[in-house]
């Protein structure tokens, strides 16, 4: 399931919640939508390469290759805010 499909489904869920009177729940779904949409948006300023979600899922944290993967796995184990 790609990101656009997820965004569309979440938007329809938010609309249904709002129509049913669950305003606070609809706001929570809207916040998730904004975070998801901004994650894949291009960055402003100096261009940095991002790891794709596919690449992050392919990393074997029991045997990370290189410094960056080791740091990624270390932060992931500690519960860091990585979007995978």
Residue-level pLDDT, tens digit, the chain, 84 residues: 666 777 777 778 778 877 888 778 777 777 877 777 666 666 666 666 788 888 888 999 999 999 999 999 988 888 766 555
The predicted pLDDT at position 64 comes to 92
pTM of the model: 0.41
Whole-number Cα distances in Å, 81 to 4, 11, 24, 38: 22, 23, 24, 15
Contact call for residues 61 and 73 (beta carbons, < 8 A): yes
Pick left, alpha or beta for residue 24 (phi over 0 → left; psi -120 to 50 → alpha; otherwise beta): alpha
């Amino acid at each position: 399931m790609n990101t656009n499909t997820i965004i569309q489904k979440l938007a329809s869920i938010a609309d249904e919640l709002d129509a049913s009177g669950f305003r606070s729940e609809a706001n929570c779904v809207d916040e998730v939508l904004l975070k998801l949409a901004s994650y894949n948006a291009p960055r402003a300023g100096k261009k940095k390469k991002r790891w794709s979600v596919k690449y992050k899922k392919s990393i074997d944290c029991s045997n990370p290759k290189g410094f960056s993967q080791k740091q990624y796995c270390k932060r992931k184990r500690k519960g860091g805010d990585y979007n995978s």
